[in-house]
């Protein structure tokens, strides 16, 4: 049999317990290298509703994992990605918004937190069936052999969520709920609480993207 | 619309470790048990963060100098270099490659590393680079030491460097580890062997690159990284190659 000339992907390996050195150097006192991204995606000039996303990552015993890398990728408040593949006509992406955030669960509490704006709706595949507002999340840590992809949707977008083409492919309605961040209006602003369960009864939906 | 040409070729799961690998004990409580939901790429997956050269410092790629406190770190001086390519063999330009590693004694500069080997005051173990227009990257560092870890009582990690790569879309995101040609600890390493396919695992082994070493200064190792291909490059290759 002739083999087509594709090169197989490099295998994934766990990020291990010391990922902070390379990916979150300020967490371990390595001051020589400015972080490439942080958990704060907004500046004074960023357009859109300020929100925070907060949560923890739980292992199979229900204990919070305190060494997890979490990266966030999202569209701006108008639903635009600052990337050449988002070639849609209309308003240009917000120049004051990179769309990318990176943090780690806290060594003591296990909490993670992003400060960002609520994304707009993004066109679905082939430009139809718009997706409900959502952020993409990617997790890596000791014990995770291949980085885990998931999404967070917004609890105050029930109508858009009900029409979302990605939520719709998840067979069990109870599992769709694992992808909903719950809106809380706190004294210091709007927070969406989003806990991630690596396994167990409330296992979060993870995607093979 | 942009989706069809940019869409990534589906990931070939056989190249990767499964989530649950009981010989690597930490995976047992941190592995999802329900199969992943397969998601055809939308704009949210084919787009991803981009980084600029001015976000990097001039010594970010040079681990021999980027944390040095007046002297250079102890250890075997090496160059680690290679290309980041996609599944069609095309270089991935301007993509961020981040690395982290232990020092020559096998100790990480990290509060949770309690191995008895000493820290090196002149070594941080953190580096990063953007690939050039051809997808080429280059680091200078010292060869990391092997170290024990609490899996079995006598589990040792072979010398390795952790790599994190972005690619052009968030669905290409990859973290892996690079090993060194000829390391006798590799055959017993439970983490390298979470990759079930031996040939796939061996692609994590960097080869000694005799041509690239700097005489009287340092050895070189070559580590090429392959990310998932996109259907766009498929189409372009077909047009170019006929």
State pLDDT tens for residues B86-97: 999 999 999 999
Burial class (CB in 10 A: 0-12, 13-18, 19+), B41: buried
Q: What mean pLDDT is predicted for residues B119-130? A: 98
pLDDT score recorded for residue A6: 85
Query: How many angstroms separate the CA atoms of A22 and A33, rounded?
Result: 10
Q: What mean pLDDT is predicted for residues B200-226? A: 97
How confident is the prediction for chain B on average, in pLDDT? 93
Residues of chain B numbered 27-66 and touching chain A (CB < 8 Å): 27-34, 36-51, 55, 57, 59-60, 66
How many beta-carbon pairs below 8 A join chains A and B? 276
Residue B241 has pLDDT above 60, yes or no: no
Q: How far is CA B57 from CA A38, A87, B34, B129, B163, in A?
A: 17, 31, 42, 9, 18
DSSP assignment of A5-55 equals: -PPPPPPP----TTTHHHH-GGGGT-TTS--S--SB---TT--S-EEEEEE
**B231 inside 8 A of chain A by CB:** no
Please indicate whether, in this complex, the C-beta atoms of B99 and A9 are within 8 angstroms of each other: no
Tell me the sheet residues that pair with A54: A113, A193
pLDDT score recorded for residue B3: 43
- Reported as a single tens digit per residue, the pLDDT across B32-60 is 999 999 999 999 999 999 999 999 999 99
In B, which residues are within 8 Å of A88 by CB distance? 1-2
**A107 inside 8 A of chain B by CB:** yes
B157 is catalytic: yes
Q: How confident is the model at residue B171 (pLDDT cuts 50, 70, 90)?
A: very high
A8: tokens are 């197989």
Residues of chain A numbered 28-67 and touching chain B (CB < 8 Å): 28, 30, 32-34, 36-37, 59-61, 65, 67
Q: Rounded to a whole number, what is the distance in Å from the CA of A111 to chain B's nearest CA?
A: 17
Please indicate whether, in this complex, the C-beta atoms of B226 and A36 are within 8 angstroms of each other: no
In A, which residues are within 8 Å of B127 by CB distance? 22
Q: What is the ipTM, given to two decimal places? A: 0.96
Between B18 and B236, name the one with better pLDDT. B18
pLDDT score recorded for residue A124: 85
Contacts of B195 (CB under 8 A, 6+ apart): A11, A13, B15, B16, B17, B201, B204
- Locate the chain B residue with the closest alpha carbon to A32: B67
B138 is catalytic: no
pLDDT score recorded for residue B5: 55
Best of A12, A169, A171 to substitute, by most chain B Cβ atoms within 10 angstroms, is: A12
E strand map for A85-188: 100-104, 111-117, 134-140, 148-154, 180-186
Residue B2 has pLDDT above 70, yes or no: no
B193 is catalytic: no
Nearest Cα to A17, choosing from A128, A144, A155?
Answer: A144
| Helix boundaries (H) for A20-141 | 20-23
Q: Rounded to a whole number, what is the distance in Å from the CA of B104 to chain A's nearest CA?
A: 16
Nearest Cα to A120, choosing from A97, A149, A148, A150?
Answer: A97
pLDDT score recorded for residue B233: 59
Residue B137 has pLDDT above 90, yes or no: yes
Query: How many angstroms separate the CA atoms of B145 and B103, rounded?
Result: 6
Sign of CA dihedral A33, A38, A40, A42: positive
Query: How many angstroms separate the CA atoms of B177 and B164, rounded?
Result: 9
Please indicate whether, in this complex, the C-beta atoms of B109 and A23 are within 8 angstroms of each other: no
Best of A14, A29, A72 to substitute, by most chain B Cβ atoms within 10 angstroms, is: A14
Best of B5, B63, B120, B170 to substitute, by most chain A Cβ atoms within 10 angstroms, is: B170
pLDDT score recorded for residue B234: 57
**A148 inside 8 A of chain B by CB:** yes
Residues of chain A with pLDDT under 70: 1-3, 127
């Amino acid at each position: 049999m002739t083999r087509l000339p594709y090169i197989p992907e490099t295998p994934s390996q766990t990020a291990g317990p010391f990922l902070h050195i390379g990916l979150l150097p300020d967490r371990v006192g390595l001051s020589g290298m400015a972080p490439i991204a942080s958990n704060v995606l907004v500046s004074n000039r960023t357009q859109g509703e300020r929100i925070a996303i907060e949560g923890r990552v739980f292992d199979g015993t229900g204990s919070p994992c305190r060494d997890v890398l979490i990266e966030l990728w999202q569209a701006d408040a108008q639903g635009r990605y600052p990337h050449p593949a988002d070639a849609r006509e209309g308003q240009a992406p917000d120049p004051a918004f990179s769309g990318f955030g990176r943090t780690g669960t806290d060594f003591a509490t296990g909490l993670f937190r992003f400060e960002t704006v609520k994304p707009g709706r993004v066109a679905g595949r082939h430009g139809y069936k718009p997706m409900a507002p959502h952020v993409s999340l990617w997790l890596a840590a000791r014990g995770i052999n291949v980085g885990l992809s998931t999404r967070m949707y917004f609890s105050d977008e029930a109508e858009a969520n009900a029409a979302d083409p990605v939520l719709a492919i998840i067979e069990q309605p109870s599992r769709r709920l694992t992808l909903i961040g719950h809106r809380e209006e706190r004294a210091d602003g709007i927070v969406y609480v989003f806990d991630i369960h690596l396994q167990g009864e409330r296992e979060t939906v993870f995607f093979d993207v | 619309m942009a989706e069809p040409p940019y869409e990534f070729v589906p990931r070939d799961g056989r190249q990767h470790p499964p989530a649950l690998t009981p010989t690597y004990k930490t995976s047992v409580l941190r592995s999802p048990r329900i199969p992943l939901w397969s998601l055809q790429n939308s704009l949210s997956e084919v787009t991803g963060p981009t980084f600029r050269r001015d976000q990097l410092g001039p010594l970010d790629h040079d681990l021999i100098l980027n944390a040095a406190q007046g002297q250079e770190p102890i250890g075997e001086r090496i160059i680690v270099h290679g290309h980041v390519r996609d599944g069609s063999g095309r270089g991935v330009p301007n993509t961020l490659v981040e690395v982290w590693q232990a020092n020559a004694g096998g100790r990480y500069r990290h509060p949770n590393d309690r191995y008895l080997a000493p820290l090196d005051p002149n070594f941080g173990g953190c580096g990063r680079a953007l690939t050039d227009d051809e997808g080429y990257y280059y680091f200078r560092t010292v060869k990391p030491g092997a170290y024990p870890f609490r899996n079995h009582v006598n589990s040792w990690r072979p010398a390795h460097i952790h790599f994190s790569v972005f690619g052009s879309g968030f669905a290409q995101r990859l973290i892996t580890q690079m090993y060194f040609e000829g390391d006798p600890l590799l055959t017993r390493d439970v983490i390298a062997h979470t990759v079930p396919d031996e040939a796939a695992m061996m692609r994590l082994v960097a080869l000694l690159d005799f041509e690239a070493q700097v005489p009287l200064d340092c050895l070189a190792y070559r580590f090429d990284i392959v990310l998932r291909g996109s259907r766009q490059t498929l189409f372009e290759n077909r047009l170019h190659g006929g």
